[in-house]
A and B are shown apart, each in its own frame.
Chain A
């Protein structure tokens, strides 16, 4: 199975900050990487697919980069609604696997 490792596991930031979360795959997944946002008690929401493509309706403050084994999610100009847990996920091969999550706190 492909292991996905996110860093950091938790981080704090302030409104207006720009933050980055990294995700590393245990083997080459090309660009088969997605990012999700999850708020407490809610279903995950898709933000990015194919490493850098924005899902429909997602604001451009979210951006993704990377290929192969190393990926980054960047969120610019943090707003209160952006404080949530973020997950990366590979869909290169079965079983699809998620990172352990990064909790972004104020």
Chain B
């Protein structure tokens, strides 16, 4: 059972454009939603995370939008740069009591930003 569905699988964007990656979850007990960025040969690195008490969180060019009723969240990368080319993973965990040590990941989106 895939609890976190991520789309698209791959995305090609021109430099300066907006990259949008979407995720949908099934388990309403999830209450912590991080995004990770992974370059080839490297481990995933935390990009930005959100909890469901807010609908949007912005850090630099990266924004998470969260829709609790639709059980969806998305990552927007503004002014996309070639250096953003990587695989992006959304994830979710049950943070009740702070025990968000078990992340359930989406399948990943390979982002290519053309110069």
Q: Do A and B bind each other?
A: no
